[in-house]
Amino acid sequence: MEMAEVIRRRRAELGMSQSDLARVAGVDTRQIRRYEAGEQQPLLSVAVAIANALKISVGELAGMPDHRVNLAGDWWAGWQTFRDGEEIIAVQEVRFRQEAELIQLETITRGRSVEDGGYMWRGELRLWDNEILMGWYAANDGSVRSKGTMYFVLHNHGVNMIGRWVGLSYDGQIVTGWGSMAKSEEEARTLIGTLKERNDLTVG
């Protein structure tokens, strides 16, 4: 893909106008128009500023193929949690928004009623080598204090992920349980069940 097309597409993905991009990159709007029209190529220092503004690498800006797995979209998250010492398997929909290796997560559904301990949350995961995702989560509901860390191993085809969460919950300050992400509610539940049976992370 030509650089002009990369700039146009990525700017549109981020919802930026040409003047927005020019302002963040520190160049004149007329220059952005010329770059997008393919009339000129930016100097290296300007290309770096544009790439940073578009949250992509200089290589991606230059049209080099990106081999990073794309995980953006809606997923189902499965969680092994506990309340008053009793195990609960909670499943809820989560939306992934990906910019390079950084993924923003936000729940779409609560999964369980408030009375049963369900809550909305947001978080971030960082993708490493198309294999491992590590990050954090925190409750969005004001009355809920839950927050902590997440660690997932990505399926080699990017279709699901399994791992653990560790954090502050209703049952204590350091609580942990199995976690899964999949494209269907049923698969998310099945992965949790398999993890519990095998008691390891060798599911694949």
pTM over 0.75: no
CA-closest candidate to residue 54, choices 97, 95, 9: 9
Domain layout of the chain by residue ranges: 3-61, 73-198
What does each of the 204 residues of the chain score in pLDDT, given as a tens digit? 789 999 999 999 889 999 999 999 999 999 999 999 999 999 999 999 999 999 888 888 988 766 678 898 999 999 999 888 889 899 999 999 988 789 999 999 988 887 777 889 999 999 998 999 999 999 998 778 899 999 999 998 899 999 999 999 888 899 999 999 999 999 999 999 999 988 754 444
CA-closest candidate to residue 201, choices 141, 151, 128, 140: 151
CA distance 167 to 179: 12
182: exposed, middle or buried (Cβ count in 10 Å: 0-12, 13-18, 19+): buried
| Other Cβ atoms within 10 Å of 73 Cβ, number | 11
CATH topology of domain 73-198: Lipocalin (2.40.128)
CATH topology of domain 3-61: 434 Repressor (Amino-terminal Domain) (1.10.260)
